[in-house]
Amino acid sequence: MSPVPELTTERLRLRALTEGDTDAVVAVFADPEMSRYFAADFSDPAQAHTMVARRLAYAGPEGQGHWAVERAGEVIGVAHLRPSSQLPGDVAELGYFITARHAGHGYATEAARALVDHGLHGLGLPAVWALVHEDNAASRAVASRLGFLDVGSGEHYGAEHRVLVALPTAHGKPHHIELWVPDLARAERSWGWLLGRLGYREFQRWPTGVSWRLGPTYVVVEASPARTAGTHERTRPGLNHLALHVATRAQVDELAGGGSGWRPLFTAEYPYAGGKAHYAAYLENEDGFEVELVALDHPPRREPLTRPG
């Protein structure tokens, strides 16, 4: 089984499901009400044991898998975040099951929120999906409280299910980044070229500055009269570099040679100057600002990043 991290909430502990949890999980599903929306009857101990064994045998992407849900040391449910067997594409599907004895206390919402946050923010997934039986009003209410969007319905797991999706929000992400530069025209030439290649579009312009925007985030360059120095030195305290996502490794390759005032850095180690699992290009412009362009389609880095300089 792939390792999953322990997640804690105000009242719950979500930890990796183990073989030692088998009896506790079988007990969770002993109430026939727990199988009301399943094709199988997990109140039958034999079927419940098979279900637990299937969860324990799961091997998938790192950080995804199955969790035991504990309250005060007692296993009160199970939950999962793992590649969907029902939806097309490599998408992550959420599931949460809290024993009927503990229903009505918000535990399902609390556990599910922890997994959604883990998926969207901890793993950087583009979306978390959920399939909820058409008649399961309680579970649909949980998904609604968590901000899932209802995008339709379909035949899944042998019955009609609502197809729900949770997407990342701008919460906690950069609103804007402002760089003070010694020469506005030179900065506009280099930053405008690079940010334009990454999909940014001019956002605002005023006599001493210009900005470019992509989604909720914008980057500003400004020749502010409040500057106290005429140059930027990235090895001094302050901004060392700006790291930006790039959709594919091929696009990183296209930008790696620089252009319009940008020169490549660490070329002998390209594209792994930051580590063997970190596909990136490093550029520096005429004013000494460094950018790191990181491929999104490379497997996520788990070891500490090696900064080349």
Alpha-carbon distance of 2 to 203, in angstroms, equals: 44
DSSP code of 208?
T
**pLDDT on residue 305:** 60
Amino acid 55 reads R
For 176-295, the fitting CATH number among 3.10.20.30, 1.10.3260.10, 3.10.180.10, 3.30.43.10 is: 3.10.180.10
Which DSSP state fits 137?
H
- For residue 213, what are the CA distances in angstroms to 258, 284, 295? 21, 21, 20
Gap between the Cα atoms of 114 and 80, Å rounded: 11
pLDDT for res 29: 96
pLDDT at 301 over 70: no
Residue 285 half-sphere exposure, CB side, CA atoms within 13 Å?
28
pLDDT of 84-104, one tens digit each? 999 999 999 999 999 999 999
- CATH superfamily, domain at 7-166: Gcn5-related N-acetyltransferase (GNAT) (3.40.630.30)
Asked if residue 225 has a cis previous peptide bond (ω within 30° of 0), the answer is no
On whether the CB atoms of residues 154 and 58 are closer than 8 A, the answer is no
Nearest partner of 39 among 164, 140, 169, 133, judged by Cα:
133
Burial class from Cβ neighbours inside 10 Å (0-12, 13-18, 19+) for residue 218 reads: buried
Q: What is the pLDDT of residue 173?
A: 86
**H-run or E-run covering 53:** helix 45-56
Q: How far apart are CA 118 and CA 146, in angstroms?
A: 13
CB of 52 within 8 A of CB of 25? Answer: yes
Tokens of 54: 């299937």
- Please indicate whether residue 297 or residue 288 has the higher confidence score (pLDDT): 288
Taking the CA atoms of 107, 112, 115 and 121 in sequence, report the sign of the dihedral they define: negative
Say how far apart CA 73 and CA 199 lie, in whole Å: 49
Q: State yes or no: pLDDT of 214 exceeds 80.
A: yes
Q: Is the pLDDT of residue 2 over 80?
A: no
Domain boundaries, the chain: 7-166, 176-295
Span 26-49, pLDDT tens digits = 999 999 999 999 999 999 999 999
pLDDT of residue 306: 64
Q: How many helices (H) and strands (E) does the chain have?
A: 6, 16
Q: Say if residue 20 is exposed, middle or buried (CB neighbours under 10 Å; 0-12, 13-18, 19+).
A: exposed
Is the model's pLDDT at 1 over the cut of 60? no
Q: Count CA atoms within 13 Å of residue 211 on its CB side.
A: 16
Report the alpha-carbon distance of residue 98 to residue 108 in Å, rounded.
6
Q: What is the pLDDT of residue 286?
A: 96
290: enclosing H helix or E strand: strand 290-295
